[in-house]
A and B are shown apart, each in its own frame.
Chain A
Amino acid sequence: MARLGLPRDYQIERAPAPSRGSTALISLLSVFLALLFGGLLLALAGENPFVVYQAMLSGALGDWNGVAETLVKTTPLLLAGLGVAVAFRMQLWNIGAEGQLYWGAIFATGAALFIFPTAPAWILVPAMIAAALFGGGLWGLIPGVLRAWFGASEIITSLMLNYVAILFSEYLVHGPWRDPAAFGFPGTPPIPDAGWLPNWGTTRVHLGLLFGLVAALILWVMLRRTRWGYEISVMGENPRAALYAGMPTKRTILLVMALSGALAGLAGMSEVAGIGHQLQRNLSPGYGYAAIIVAWLGRLHPFGAVLVAFLLAALTVGGDRLQMSLGLPAAIAPMLQGTILFFLLGGDLLTRYRLSRRVPAALPDPLDRPHEAPQP
């Protein structure tokens, strides 16, 4: 399977950069094939896929309520997804968005409850934002430091820190920060009203969505137009070229990981200040992990993340609504999300590699060159 039974003189090699059009086409095709495959699974399990898809669609986008709920779910996915996208751009595999989100929520709640409990909104909200950025950023910085200074894989360290963050927040809501008035129900007291993010009309959609959109715009400008964004792209595409150009690699790793964490932290703050109005257990149903899908499906592009965050949110809300409309588990949504990712990962092969006859680039002496495996 792996060698695909190729004749010896043929090989799979990196194709020249795929065009934007073919990339978009592959993405579309992946989503289509995933829905097809998901439909097959549904049919095998005795459900009518058309009915299910129809119910999901109308649940998520069929009425204003659904749209509003989709936008509510878009917010944390987008903010955390942007954070992941920045890190992935530099080939930093930060999968600690979940923990960074929690840490942002912890800091924001702490600022609201204990530091500025009586401040007016125009002080409290910015203070909570700053606290969340700091908290999430700090949590992202840890794997950054371990990577830059010790060379430890940020994949595992950031993953481990997720659990530490979640456990710490559980400790807070069960222990020192527990609301004594809540009869043992784990959660902090509600934050002051001044810290509540304003809602859009009577819906649950809140200012956090705007944070996400603004962050996407800033990030887009940053990545496309600034020196720093340029450095991130070069380091991600070719670290040796960055060294050659004298770019400060270690410092950039630290800054990017901090930025990545800060954005996830902002997602945590917006959940506290916009939705729950307190720090509680199960603050996030895995937004930090779904954020990785958002970043990857969005091709690590800020606007791509906006689109995908909305789509994934719609999928999630549609899944939630299935419970009410058809009595089916909401889990159909993550099942489809996973399937889409599988097809996208597989489909990428078509853009990244091509079959070719082996022709050495310069010298015909295969033995003069080291047998190095390609970098992942």
Chain B
Amino acid sequence: MAIGYRLSAIGFSLSCRLAVLPSPMTLSPCPPTPPSPAIAMRGITKRFGQLIANDHIDFASPWGEVHALVGENGAGKSTLMSILAGLYRPDSGSIEIDGQPVRFRSPRDAIAQGIGMVYQHFMLVDPFTVAENVVLGERRKGVALELPRVERELRELSDRYDLGVDPRSRIWQLSVGEQQRVEILRLLYLGARILVFDEPTAVLTPQEAERLIGTLRGMAAQGFTVIFISHKLDEVLQVADRISILRRGKIVASTTPGETDRHTLARLMVGRELASFVERPAAEPHEAVVPGEPVLVLSNVGAIGEKGLPALRNVDLEVRAGETLGIAGVAGNGQTELAEIVTGLRRVTGGTIQIAGRDMTNRSAGQIARAGVAHVPEDRLATGLIGGMDLSANAILREYGTPPISNGPFIAGKATASFTDRLIANHDVKTPGRWAKLRTLSGGNQQKLLLARELEGAPRLIVAVHPTRGVDVGATEAIHHALRDQRARGAATLLISEDLDELLALSDRIAVLFEGRVMGILPARGADPEQIGLLMAGVAPDPSFAGQTAAHG
């Protein structure tokens, strides 16, 4: 019977499936069916250099199931699914699809086996129509486009799964949610029976997300297997039949919505023993600094992100002198945009930004820097540094226009050299010399140089985004030390990080961003990571919180 699946003519396999399916609960589409699981991944290991992204993972899912994969960033969910979709080859382990061992050399092989992946960044050609995008993936002999036939079949599929996609509309005319449904429609058309979604609701409005969840349930009811990567626990509990939690490359638990609740999930996701919660803040106690004047004040700020969707909504934040405000949140919930609007790299669409008492709304990056704002950007090589130039050139990026570095129209060579050497020495940047090209430095030393440059001249406000990402332990320590010194000196710090430990260790208060909104602000001292995890997952604090924690803790 497996032959029914192998035929990529979806018309056949689908009609077979739909005609014979006795009930949504049937796991296999075409009887007589062996009870093979749709997916069985065994002992999957994938390393990237030193990092083990997937560590002997066993993962299985039967037909007709919505299986949610949850975990923090970097837990290995996407790597696991990339292996399933043929993007990566595992170092070891095996994959069976519907009981048959498979080996994927490319995404094409995976598609041929009925595995389709919907990426966060849609793989659609903008000026093409929906039907044209579908034909692009079709492996059919013949010269003509046969658009009328494809459009007709797409319309049928769209109606059957209530996707509401007009095959003749052009991609650029569609909303993000519609484009996502085009991706689903395309995969269905191409014969996918296993659909993998990478954080599908991250780019959607709540209404669109609601609709998608309905669609996914419908697909599962028709016998498809749906894998759903998400951070949003409420959503996961609503849509999934089974939930697997990944942490540091391993599946730490696999459960069902009936057996668990969001608090348990949050704890499993954040992944720490309770004991370490209690100990950790005490490890690096902040001496209580009395916060001074407000340095950064955001009032009712809104901004539009890359996708053209609102990325920040009605954000009110305040950071005082001598205070570090940590920003927690799952990637893509407005952190990047928050840093950009404060540092002048993105315009706000509403609200005001005050820095040190002056209105700095929509000022240029240069003006804001001159107002005493240091910026450790998210992607240092793309934004804050120039890889192809030497250390001196990188060191003077902020100061090149002011004496003593600037001397009339010239850049003073001696002053540049001594300035660079001072930064290198003071922040222990390991380098053959100031003439070395920046790209030749390790990530940690690049970051130390950047930090050294930004902290020069006693900034009033420091905006630090993932300051220790991709940086070795020693450099991390040095960077944390420098940030603490700045706080003690009286600088206000806006620290954006995905590393909860880092936030807890360095911040006075932690604000959690979710879908561009501030979900809550809590004092870092004694903060409960579980509560932060819930806020990160979009669960608003409720009065019964404490009781529930007790019940499940």
Q: Do chains A and B touch in the complex (CB under 8 A)?
A: yes
Residues of A within 8 A of B (CB): 8-9, 16-17, 225-228, 230, 233-234, 237-238, 240-241, 243-247, 358-368, 370-371
Q: Are B411 and A227 in contact (CB under 8 A)?
A: yes
User: 10 new A-B pairs (CB below 8 Å) besides A241-B397, A367-B78?
Assistant: A9-B89, A17-B439, A226-B409, A227-B406, A244-B365, A245-B365, A363-B74, A365-B78, A366-B87, A367-B120
Q: Are A238 and B410 in contact (CB under 8 A)?
A: no
Instruction: State in angstroms the CA–CA spacing of A266 and B396 once bound together.
Output: 34
B127 on the interface (CB 8 Å rule)?
A: no
Collect the chain A residues with CB atoms within 8 Å of residue B105's CB.
Answer: 8
Given contacts A9-B89, A240-B383, A244-B383, A359 and B397 within 8 Å (CB-CB): no
Q: Which of A17, A227, A360 is the one whose CB lies under 8 Å from B48?
A: A360
**Closest chain B CB from A240 CB (angstroms):** 5
**Closest chain A CB from B131 CB (angstroms):** 23
Binds A, one of B279-287, B387-395, B511-519: B387-395
Nearest residue, chain B, Cβ from A358: B48
9 A-B pairs with C-beta separation under 8 A: A17-B388, A227-B400, A228-B409, A237-B386, A244-B343, A245-B366, A359-B49, A370-B121, A371-B119
Nearest residue, chain B, Cβ from A7: B89
Instruction: State in angstroms the CA–CA spacing of A368 and B74 once bound together.
Output: 9
Instruction: State in angstroms the CA–CA spacing of A16 and B364 once bound together.
Output: 32
Q: Are B87 and A240 in contact (CB under 8 A)?
A: no
B73 on the interface (CB 8 Å rule)?
A: yes
Q: Are A225 and B365 in contact (CB under 8 A)?
A: no
**Closest chain B CB from A229 CB (angstroms):** 8
1/0 per residue B93-116: CB within 8 Å of A? Answer: 000000000000110000000000
**Closest chain A CB from B506 CB (angstroms):** 19
Nearest residue, chain B, Cβ from A9: B89
| Residues of B in contact, count (CB < 8 Å) | 61
B291 on the interface (CB 8 Å rule)?
A: no
**Closest chain B CB from A292 CB (angstroms):** 21
Q: Are A16 and B440 in contact (CB under 8 A)?
A: yes
**Closest chain A CB from B334 CB (angstroms):** 16
Q: Which of A234, A243, A244, A368 is the one whose CB lies under 8 Å from B393?
A: A234
CB within 8 Å: A-B pair count: 122
Q: Are A227 and B410 in contact (CB under 8 A)?
A: yes
Instruction: State in angstroms the CA–CA spacing of A234 and B396 once bound together.
Output: 11
B79 on the interface (CB 8 Å rule)?
A: yes
Collect the chain B residues with CB atoms within 8 Å of residue A362's CB.
Answer: 469-470
Instruction: State in angstroms the CA–CA spacing of A364 and B461 once bound together.
Output: 32
**Closest chain B CB from A208 CB (angstroms):** 27
Collect the chain B residues with CB atoms within 8 Å of residue A366's CB.
Answer: 78-79, 82, 87-88
Q: Are A367 and B400 in contact (CB under 8 A)?
A: no
B495 on the interface (CB 8 Å rule)?
A: no
**Closest chain A CB from B441 CB (angstroms):** 9
Q: Are B121 and A363 in contact (CB under 8 A)?
A: no
Q: Are B120 and A17 in contact (CB under 8 A)?
A: no
Q: Which of B51, B87, B383, B400 is the one whose CB lies under 8 Å from A364?
A: B51
Given contacts A9-B89, A360-B48, A364-B48, A226 and B411 within 8 Å (CB-CB): yes
Instruction: State in angstroms the CA–CA spacing of A237 and B370 once bound together.
Output: 23
Q: Are B74 and A365 in contact (CB under 8 A)?
A: yes
B375 on the interface (CB 8 Å rule)?
A: yes
Chain A interface, >50% SS class = loop
Residues of B within 8 A of A (CB): 46, 48-49, 51, 53, 73-74, 76-79, 81-82, 87-89, 105-106, 119-121, 123, 198, 331, 343-345, 364-370, 375, 377, 382-389, 393, 396-398, 400-401, 406, 409-411, 413, 437, 439-440, 443, 469-470
Q: Are B410 and A225 in contact (CB under 8 A)?
A: yes
Collect the chain B residues with CB atoms within 8 Å of residue A247's CB.
Answer: 366
Collect the chain A residues with CB atoms within 8 Å of residue B396's CB.
Answer: 230
Q: Which of A9, A226, A237, A360 is the one whose CB lies under 8 Å from B388?
A: A237
**Closest chain B CB from A246 CB (angstroms):** 2
Collect the chain B residues with CB atoms within 8 Å of residue A360's CB.
Answer: 48
Closest 8 CB pairs of A and B: A246-B366, A362-B470, A364-B53, A17-B437, A365-B78, A367-B78, A359-B49, A246-B365
Collect the chain A residues with CB atoms within 8 Å of residue B375's CB.
Answer: 244
Collect the chain A residues with CB atoms within 8 Å of residue B400's CB.
Answer: 227, 230
Collect the chain B residues with CB atoms within 8 Å of residue A364's CB.
Answer: 46, 48, 51, 53, 74, 76, 78-79
Instruction: State in angstroms the CA–CA spacing of A237 and B438 once bound together.
Output: 12
Collect the chain B residues with CB atoms within 8 Å of residue A361's CB.
Answer: 443, 470
Instruction: State in angstroms the CA–CA spacing of A243 and B344 once bound together.
Output: 9
Collect the chain B residues with CB atoms within 8 Å of residue A358's CB.
Answer: 48
Nearest residue, chain B, Cβ from A228: B409
**Closest chain B CB from A99 CB (angstroms):** 30
Collect the chain A residues with CB atoms within 8 Å of residue B388's CB.
Answer: 17, 237-238
Collect the chain B residues with CB atoms within 8 Å of residue A244's CB.
Answer: 343, 345, 365, 375, 377, 383-384, 397
Instruction: State in angstroms the CA–CA spacing of A53 and B443 once bound together.
Output: 50
Given contacts A233-B393, A364-B48, A245 and B398 within 8 Å (CB-CB): yes
Q: Are A241 and B386 in contact (CB under 8 A)?
A: yes
Q: Are A367 and B387 in contact (CB under 8 A)?
A: no
Instruction: State in angstroms the CA–CA spacing of A368 and B72 once bound together.
Output: 12
Nearest residue, chain B, Cβ from A247: B366
Given contacts A228-B409, A230-B393, A245-B366, A365 and B73 within 8 Å (CB-CB): yes
Q: Which of A8, A241, A245 is the one whose CB lies under 8 Å from B369?
A: A245
> Residue among A17, A241, A370, A371 with the most chain B CB within 10 A?
A241
**Closest chain A CB from B78 CB (angstroms):** 4
Q: Are B81 and A367 in contact (CB under 8 A)?
A: yes
Q: Which of B364, B369, B386 is the one whose CB lies under 8 Å from A238?
A: B386
Collect the chain A residues with CB atoms within 8 Å of residue B410's CB.
Answer: 225-227
**Closest chain B CB from A354 CB (angstroms):** 12
Q: Are A241 and B78 in contact (CB under 8 A)?
A: no
**Closest chain B CB from A219 CB (angstroms):** 14
Q: Are A241 and B385 in contact (CB under 8 A)?
A: yes
Collect the chain B residues with CB atoms within 8 Å of residue A241's CB.
Answer: 383-386, 397
Collect the chain B residues with CB atoms within 8 Å of residue A240's CB.
Answer: 382-383
Nearest residue, chain B, Cβ from A359: B49
Q: Are B331 and A368 in contact (CB under 8 A)?
A: yes
**Closest chain B CB from A224 CB (angstroms):** 9
Instruction: State in angstroms the CA–CA spacing of A363 and B365 once bound together.
Output: 28
Nearest residue, chain A, Cβ from B52: A364
Q: Which of A238, A245, A246, A371 is the one whose CB lies under 8 Å from B387?
A: A238
Instruction: State in angstroms the CA–CA spacing of A269 and B409 once bound together.
Output: 28
> Residue among A17, A233, A370 with the most chain B CB within 10 A?
A17
Nearest residue, chain A, Cβ from B471: A362
**Closest chain B CB from A36 CB (angstroms):** 31
Collect the chain A residues with CB atoms within 8 Å of residue B120's CB.
Answer: 367-368
Nearest residue, chain A, Cβ from B399: A245
**Closest chain B CB from A252 CB (angstroms):** 13
Instruction: State in angstroms the CA–CA spacing of A72 and B518 once bound together.
Output: 70
Nearest residue, chain B, Cβ from A366: B82
